[in-house]
Amino acid sequence: ALHSEVRSLHTNLQQASALMDLYNQKIVFLEDQIKAWSDRVVKLQEDGWQQSVSLSNCQRKLVDVNGDAQKLRQSLDGLQANVGSSRLEVADVLIELEKERFSKKRIEDDLEVMSRKASSLRAKACESTVLEKLRHEVKEYRGILKCGICHDRQKEVVVTK
C-alpha cells in the first residue's frame, strides 16, 4: 500500500513535473510573444513618432508651398494684367500704324495728282511762253507794218534793203 501510494505520488509527481514543464514551455512561448509584441509596439511607437515628425515637416512644406503658390498667383495676376494692357497698347499702336499708312497713301496719291498737275502746268507754261513770244513777234511785225508817223494806218509798202 505504501508502495502503491509512493507510486501514485510518483506518477502524480511526474504528471505534475510534465505539467510544470508544459507550463514552463508555455511561459517561455508567451514571454517570447510578449517580447515580440513589445518590440513591435516600440517599433510602431518609433514609426509613429517618425510619421508625426514627417507629418509636421510635410505640413510646414505645405504651408511654404501654399505661400509660394499665393505669391505666384499674385504675380500671374499682375502679369496677366500687364499682358492685357500690353495687348491694348499693341492694338492702339496697330490702329495708329494703319492710320499712318492710310495717311501716307493718301499723301502719296495727292503728291502724284499734284505732280501730274505740275507737269501739265509746266507744259502749258512752256506753250504760253511760246505763244507769248509769237504774239510779241506778231506785234512787232504789225508795228513795222503801221505808219511810223500816225501809228494808225498800215503801210502800203515796206522798204527793205
DSSP 15-63: HHHHHHHHHHHHHHHHHHHHHHHHHHHHHHHHHHHHHHHHHHHHHHHHH
Whether this model's pTM surpasses 0.85: no
Three-state secondary-structure class, residue 110: helix
Is the model's pLDDT at 139 over the cut of 90? no
In a domain, 154, yes or no: no
Comparing CA positions, the residue from 136, 113, 68 lying closest to residue 144 is 136
Domain that holds residue 47: 1-145
In a domain, 156, yes or no: no
In a domain, 159, yes or no: no
Is the model's pLDDT at 93 over the cut of 70? yes
In a domain, 43, yes or no: yes
In a domain, 160, yes or no: no
Percent of the chain with pLDDT over 70: 91
In a domain, 49, yes or no: yes
Domain count, the chain: 1
